[in-house]
A and B are shown apart, each in its own frame.
Chain A
Amino acid sequence: MGAYVNPIYPYKAPTDLKATPSLRKPLIVIGAGPVGLAAAVDARLQGLDVLVLDDDKTVSVGSRAVCYAKRSLEILDRLGIAEPACQLGVSWNIGRTFLEQDEVYQFNLVPDAGHKRPGMINLQQYHIEEMLIARALELGADIRWQHKVTAVKRHDDGHDDHATLTVETPDGAFDIEADWLVVADGARSPIRRHLGLDIEGRVFQDRFLIADVIMKADYPAERWFWFDPPFHPNQSVLLHKQSNNVWRIDFQLGWDADPEEEKKPEKVIPRLQAMLGDDRPFELEWVSIYTFQCRRMTDFRHGRVLFVGDAAHQVSPFGARGANSGFQDVDDLMWKLALVMKGQASDKLLDTYALDRQFAADENIMNSTRSTDFITPKSRTSKTFRNQVLALARHYPFARKLVNSGRLSMPSFLTSSLLNTPDADAFEGNMVPGAPMDDAPVQVAGQDAWLLDQVGNRFACLLFADAVPSAEVLAQLNALQAPRESAPPRANVPPVPVTPLIVAPRAFEVPGVKVLVDTQGWVAKRYDGQDGTTYLLRPDQHVAARWRQLDSAKVQQALVLATCQADALL
């Protein structure tokens, strides 16, 4: 009934994957949704061979995850698809919240200037998946459709650890082994169930109707949320603009609604007509009834098996914290996995993936649970407080801040990460160790550019310098690129190189080091950068450590900590 036609990806018989004894692959990803595909792209960017297995042969049916937050767009920039996603998607920053007919609260996701990406884009999940598939294939990932993993056996006894997968295809079943397994098979995660792993949390007793509507409308590109609107009394409604004239409308229905009945066009269309309030022609592209849970696995890591995205954690949709947090899982995991697979870090580094992303999942669950409790109060008292917050919000700023129609996905500050080197010097601002980096406009070789595009995939050492640094400082900075001599001795462990970068208020040249000119002062402002200030940045664009003066020995120590290399010596 809709405008979008799902592509069918060709099935390839697994003749090259079947072998006796079974083939061993370094890395297999289960699930070609947005998160599994992002993992495959990131693996290729890290130079890892990757095989992706998916039981289907197309992208998502229906728009599903439509909101991609600024941090996801920055990750997608690193993966190489943010530009087409932003071109096709609908950028927005403003969210409006209405009580009945009146606007009571407005937020702006990016109140500051000087960011490459907007607060959010809306884009149908199938478009994102198509872009990720094209990118993964371009980078040499091996994606196999109609390859359903039916069993996983873990071998974690300490020698030759791996997993054995049983895969069903139209040409029968076969076994294949993986040194490392990334599980991205979604909320129902057959693999998680198959391995008997716990996922615990809270089920919410409410039902929601999603309608994707194709229509011509001139509503602005903003998120509109209604409490108790006249066209849908006593419930909430959410409106989002997507690309190609598709609009997402989300109606709260209550727990007693009959999902089969409510899905029927003869039930959906009158609801939409009441909302749109005119004779505007529209077409239904996709309708779905959903309920949700907020829950996570106790541990995202089980030996060689790593869980990412919805397979590991689920949230309510208020806040767009599903796919967005899945991308952040991948962002955190893949550089760590690459260092471990290449023998540059102890495999304890992957425990920090689990710890840090479990922390982030708890934050996402907390925020989306709070939103859900505000939107759908569970008791009379809770509803009274909610309604009186809305009443006060018409008059008072403090109450506007309490209006919670969704706290939209923002990355966690991983301030308790074991990889952080605690500050020894004083700094202003938010770029603490563990912080996701703020973007800023810069110039590189006379061209306009963005800070975040200059870092990522590798460690970087960012030095603020008002003028060309001394030869001694430059020697320290350059030594980080090939740290054999200055690093502590590590038998057989290849060094982790650190890319040197200089941030300067005006252009100058330094042989072998890229100079980022902070033309508008945003970098210095956001990072509290002064002459000599030094940041060690992780491959996932998070701050690992910072100092007021460059001391390459301290940078090396922080690098050892940020990569669990010390453990490799044990």
Chain B
Amino acid sequence: MQTTLLQTDPNFHEPGRRFFRDFSPGDDFYEALIDAHNGLSDEQSEALNARLILLLANHIGDLRVLREALAAAKSAAA
């Protein structure tokens, strides 16, 4: 799916920190994400994911971006 506003290129970064390998910031995030679920039941994980989506959606705020993200997530279903 083509997106116009939604950023779909690699975009993980941390101001002030230097990454020598391009995969490192994304891997940092992914590890933090999986770690956040450690020790949770499936229901607790589902609820955590919901809260996380809501927090991030509010942070993004721009409804056009959020609509694109929703459409992209739906159409990428395997």
Q: Are A390 and B78 in contact (CB under 8 A)?
A: yes
Does A290 count as interface, using CB distance less than 8 angstroms? no
Q: In the assembled complex, how far is the CB of residue B19 from the closest CB belonging to chain A, in whole angstroms? A: 10
Tell me, in angstroms, the Cα distance from A401 to B24 when the chains sit together: 9
B8 partner residues in chain A, CB cutoff 8 A = 395-398
Does B11 count as interface, using CB distance less than 8 angstroms? yes
Tell me, in angstroms, the Cα distance from A381 to B37 when the chains sit together: 8
Q: Are A395 and B23 in contact (CB under 8 A)?
A: no
Contact of A391 among B10, B21, B38, B76 (CB under 8 A): B76
Does B77 count as interface, using CB distance less than 8 angstroms? yes
A535 partner residues in chain B, CB cutoff 8 A = none
Q: Are B30 and A374 in contact (CB under 8 A)?
A: yes
Chain B interface helix/strand/loop/mixed: loop
Interface size on B, residues (CB 8 A): 29
A430 partner residues in chain B, CB cutoff 8 A = 20
Q: In the assembled complex, how far is the CB of residue A396 from the closest CB belonging to chain B, in whole angstroms? A: 4
Could you tell me which residues of chain B, from 31 to 46, have a CB within 8 Å of some CB in chain A? 31, 33-34, 37-38, 40, 42, 45-46
Residue ID in chain B nearest A410 by CB atoms: B21
Q: Are A401 and B40 in contact (CB under 8 A)?
A: no
B49 partner residues in chain A, CB cutoff 8 A = 381
Q: Are B34 and A401 in contact (CB under 8 A)?
A: no
Contact of B23 among A385, A404, A413 (CB under 8 A): A404
Does B14 count as interface, using CB distance less than 8 angstroms? no
Contact of A382 among B12, B23, B34, B46 (CB under 8 A): B34
Does B66 count as interface, using CB distance less than 8 angstroms? no
Interface size on A, residues (CB 8 A): 29
CB within 8 Å for A367 and B27 given contacts A395-B72, A398-B9, A407-B21:
yes
Does A25 count as interface, using CB distance less than 8 angstroms? no
Q: Are B45 and A396 in contact (CB under 8 A)?
A: no
CB within 8 Å for A396 and B21 given contacts A370-B31, A381-B40, A382-B37:
no
Tell me, in angstroms, the Cα distance from A236 to B26 when the chains sit together: 22
Does A387 count as interface, using CB distance less than 8 angstroms? yes
Does B7 count as interface, using CB distance less than 8 angstroms? yes
A382 partner residues in chain B, CB cutoff 8 A = 34, 37
Residue ID in chain B nearest A404 by CB atoms: B27
Residue ID in chain A nearest B3 by CB atoms: A396
Q: Are B72 and A396 in contact (CB under 8 A)?
A: yes
Q: Are B30 and A404 in contact (CB under 8 A)?
A: yes
Contact with B along A349-393 (1 / 0, CB 8 A): 000000000000000000100100110000111100101111110
B46 partner residues in chain A, CB cutoff 8 A = 381
CB within 8 Å for A396 and B11 given contacts A385-B34, A402-B30:
no
Q: In the assembled complex, how far is the CB of residue B68 from the closest CB belonging to chain A, in whole angstroms? A: 12
B76 partner residues in chain A, CB cutoff 8 A = 391-392, 394-396
Does B1 count as interface, using CB distance less than 8 angstroms? yes
Tell me, in angstroms, the Cα distance from A385 to B48 when the chains sit together: 13
Residue ID in chain B nearest A432 by CB atoms: B18
Q: In the assembled complex, how far is the CB of residue B56 from the closest CB belonging to chain A, in whole angstroms? A: 14
Residue ID in chain B nearest A394 by CB atoms: B76
Q: In the assembled complex, how far is the CB of residue A435 from the closest CB belonging to chain B, in whole angstroms? A: 8
Tell me, in angstroms, the Cα distance from A396 to B69 when the chains sit together: 12
Contact of B26 among A387, A396, A401, A435 (CB under 8 A): A401
Does B62 count as interface, using CB distance less than 8 angstroms? no
Contact of B10 among A367, A397, A413 (CB under 8 A): A397
Q: In the assembled complex, how far is the CB of residue A432 from the closest CB belonging to chain B, in whole angstroms? A: 8
Q: In the assembled complex, how far is the CB of residue A315 from the closest CB belonging to chain B, in whole angstroms? A: 15
Residue ID in chain A nearest B48 by CB atoms: A381
Residue ID in chain A nearest B37 by CB atoms: A381
Residue ID in chain B nearest A397 by CB atoms: B9
Contact with A along B60-78 (1 / 0, CB 8 A): 0000000000001001111
Q: In the assembled complex, how far is the CB of residue B7 from the closest CB belonging to chain A, in whole angstroms? A: 7
A396 partner residues in chain B, CB cutoff 8 A = 8, 72, 76
Q: Are B27 and A407 in contact (CB under 8 A)?
A: yes
Contact with B along A468-487 (1 / 0, CB 8 A): 00000000000000000000
A398 partner residues in chain B, CB cutoff 8 A = 7-12, 26
Could you tell me which residues of chain A, from 390 to 423, have a CB within 8 Å of some CB in chain B? 390-392, 394-398, 401-402, 404, 407, 410, 413
Q: In the assembled complex, how far is the CB of residue B46 from the closest CB belonging to chain A, in whole angstroms? A: 8
Residue ID in chain A nearest B8 by CB atoms: A396
Contact of B78 among A370, A379, A387, A407 (CB under 8 A): A387
Q: Are B30 and A370 in contact (CB under 8 A)?
A: yes
Q: In the assembled complex, how far is the CB of residue B30 from the closest CB belonging to chain A, in whole angstroms? A: 6
Q: In the assembled complex, how far is the CB of residue A108 from the closest CB belonging to chain B, in whole angstroms? A: 12
Q: Are A395 and B37 in contact (CB under 8 A)?
A: no
A387 partner residues in chain B, CB cutoff 8 A = 78
Chain B residues near A (Cβ < 8 Å): 1, 7-12, 20-23, 26-27, 30-31, 33-34, 37-38, 40, 42, 45-46, 49, 72, 75-78
Extra pairs beyond A381-B49, A387-B78, A395-B72 (12, CB < 8 Å): A367-B27, A382-B34, A389-B30, A395-B1, A396-B8, A397-B10, A398-B7, A398-B9, A398-B11, A401-B23, A430-B20, A435-B20
Q: Which 7 pairs from chain A and chain B are nearest by CB?
A: A391-B78, A381-B45, A396-B8, A401-B10, A381-B37, A398-B10, A413-B20
30 contacts between A and B (CB under 8 A): A367-B27, A370-B30, A373-B31, A380-B42, A380-B45, A381-B34, A381-B42, A382-B34, A387-B78, A390-B78, A391-B77, A394-B76, A395-B8, A395-B72, A396-B72, A398-B8, A398-B9, A398-B11, A401-B22, A401-B26, A402-B26, A402-B27, A402-B30, A404-B23, A404-B27, A404-B30, A407-B21, A407-B23, A430-B20, A435-B20
